[in-house]
Amino acid sequence: MAGVETLEADSKNELLEAFKVALATESVGVIIITEKAAELGRTEVDKYIQDVDIPLILEIPSSGQVKERKSAGNILKEAMGIKI
């Protein structure tokens, strides 16, 4: 996709470094992270999701994973008290 930078992380250190870079980049408005990558640093990723307003951090299912997940509406409702 044009204008979209991607980073790949194979370890917790790589994941946390990618987060530092993205959070320090003023033009980044959304971070999309796969569930598999988020599991590398679950505690830290969850903390960022809860504590950081901008950029928006969106965790998506990894390719090939079929797992019952909360809907985006339920996540928003829990996080912000907004029902859609």
pLDDT digits (tens, 9 = 90+) for 47-77: 888 887 888 888 888 877 556 666 666 666 6
pLDDT digits (tens, 9 = 90+) for 4-49: 777 788 899 998 998 888 888 888 888 888 888 888 988 888 888 8
According to the model, what pLDDT value does residue 13 have?
Answer: 92
According to the model, what pLDDT value does residue 5 have?
Answer: 77
Peptide bond into 61 cis (omega under 30): no
Q: What is d(CA 67, CA 52) in angstroms, rounded to the nearest whole number?
A: 26
